[in-house]
Amino acid sequence: MGTEKNRRFSRTKHVDESGAWYNLDNAGIIMPAVVDSVNTELFRLEAVLDAEPDAEILRKALAQTTARFHYFNVTLKRGLFWYYLDQCGTSPPLYSDDSDPCQGWDINKRGTRLFRVLLSGRRVACEFSHALTDGSGGFSFMKTFLTRYFSLIGIAPGTELGTGEFADILDIEDQAHLEEYEDGYQKYFPGKLPLPEPNPSAWHQLGDRLPKGEYRIITGSLDLPALLAEAKKRNVTLTEFLAAVYLDALQELWFSLPKRPREHFISLEIPVNLRQFFPSKTNRNFSLFILLRENLQLGRRSFDELVKRAHYQMRLEHDIKSISRQIARNAGGTRNFAVRIIPLFIKDIFARILFAKLGETMLSGFITNMGQIRLPPGVELHIESFAFVPPPSTTTLTNIAVNSWKGRLIVTFGSLAVSRELERLFFTRLRSLGFAASVRCRGEEE
């Protein structure tokens, strides 16, 4: 790692006679071939302010933030061999947030940016394509954007930015650094390593889907200190505890079916932020995942068993050697000369096959935990709620994103399924353990 070749492959920005353009990073490179207006791979960050923002000042803050994050202000273009990101010459518009989240946005449509910012009343939202960035990069943009808006209306952050717990809030006046848009997978490419073991196909929920364009959001708010105390009592992390609750709900659905499915594994994906393993300031994608699996042919497991097994499975995979095997497999292909010269339309076909084999086919669902969301004191005072909405999937149908905000754990389900049984089982299990959730469904409470 750290070789000159790695540094060369990690550089994404190029400038020629047509202007600036960027390579997609190693995680984003597969997305254009597998997304559409329903499977958008958009995730959403949204904040509810204590007062309705001034739309014109919000647009100004957006223009200034986007100029600072110029590597986000791009559209997708097709080349002969690869997709690439073309720099936009204008600032993005501010959209009205009047439709379902994360829907109706196809990055393959000419002129479509890979993110959008929306406003509805006091709610400000940013939606990002996973072809562009991951949760860490998205949060950096969102937090910088909100901080800039409040600065423009005369509310000071109240603390130093760009360091410590506010290191991801960038200085609008500063120039973007090369590290912010580097491909971290290529920078830390470990060389040839044994491939990770193959994973079995996982069971998926069946049933009717919501009409096209609908994406149901159910959010539960729970007492964070009480849940942390429960996880500590069990000697597990909060993510491991919540993963066990999710696995428990999945196994209840599986065993409730009148006929046993052919797929007898349930599998849960948990993203891992690679910045905790490798020093990187990139705001592009830099995450991989751990899979927790249960073979239901062995019978139903108690909740206590699931908690212990989630903990030990996480411990086995959450180490730099296991993660490096995934990086070697994923990033190695783009370095192969034979792969590089294959025309893009053929690459698209293989990308869909690869995504099916190494992607959602082996998942029953995913849960991502962004942890505690902190904003500068002057900004945090004026934000009532902050939530993270997972991207939609027609394969897993229902997924979870988690974040903590002002002493509350915010659990957000995003679902394309008509049935709400998975959500009901999840919150029922928590209630059986003594944790009452305040639950609301987007649209039904507004």
Q: How many CB atoms are located within 10 Å of the residue 290 CB?
A: 20
CA–CA dist 80, 76 (Å, integer):
13
Phi, psi of 210 (to 5 degrees): -65, 155
- pTM: predicted TM-score of the whole model, two decimal places: 0.95
Cβ 391 vs Cβ 412: under 8 Å = no
- The mean predicted confidence, pLDDT, of the chain is 93
Q: Domain 4-187 carries which CATH code?
A: 3.30.559.10
Give the strands of the sheet with 13-16, arranged side by side.
Answer: 13-16, 19-23, 83-87, 74-78
- What are 446's two structure tokens? 């507004």
Q: pLDDT by residue (tens digit) across 72-86?
A: 999 999 998 899 999
Residue from 105, 158, 98 nearest 127 by CA = 105
Please, what is the end-to-end C-alpha distance for the chain in angstroms?
A: 51
What was the pLDDT predicted at 132? 97
DSSP string, 247-294: HHHHHHHHHTSSS--S--EEEEEEEEEGGGTS-----S--EEEEEEEE
Residue from 222, 221, 220, 217 nearest 441 by CA = 217
- What are 98's two structure tokens? 């009047």
CA distances from 132 to 116, 226, 418 (A): 12, 36, 30
- Mean pLDDT score, 434-445: 85
In the chain, the percentage of residues whose pLDDT exceeds 90 is 80
Q: pLDDT by residue (tens digit) across 106-165?
A: 999 999 999 999 999 999 999 999 999 999 999 999 999 999 999 999 999 988 888 888
The second-level CATH assignment, the architecture, of 216-441 is 2-Layer Sandwich (3.30)
41 pLDDT higher than 70: yes
Query: How many H-runs (helices) and E-runs (strands) does the chain carry?
Result: 13, 16
What was the pLDDT predicted at 446? 46
Q: pLDDT by residue (tens digit) across 373-402?
A: 999 999 999 999 999 999 999 999 999 999
**Binning pLDDT at 50, 70 and 90, where does residue 1 land?**
low
- What are 346's two structure tokens? 């053929």
421 pLDDT higher than 80: yes
Domain with CATH 3.30.559.10 in the chain: 4-187
What was the pLDDT predicted at 358? 67
- Mean pLDDT score, 421-430: 97
Q: How many CB atoms are located within 10 Å of the residue 281 CB?
A: 17
Which of 19 and 63 is assigned the larger pLDDT?
63
- What are 42's two structure tokens? 């958009």
3 state SS of 6: helix
- What are 336's two structure tokens? 């192969």
Which of 356 and 45 is assigned the larger pLDDT?
45
What was the pLDDT predicted at 2? 61
CA–CA dist 409, 100 (Å, integer):
23
Identify the residue whose tokens are 């069946």: 206
Q: pLDDT by residue (tens digit) across 188-240?
A: 999 889 888 888 899 999 899 999 999 999 999 999 999 999 999 999 999 99
Which of 227 and 342 is assigned the larger pLDDT?
227
Domain with CATH 3.30.559.30 in the chain: 216-441
Identify the residue whose tokens are 């025309």: 343
Q: Helix 238-255 and helix 303-317: axis angle, to 10°?
A: 120
Q: What angle do CA 348, 350, 355 make, to 5 degrees?
A: 95
**Binning pLDDT at 50, 70 and 90, where does residue 292 land?**
very high
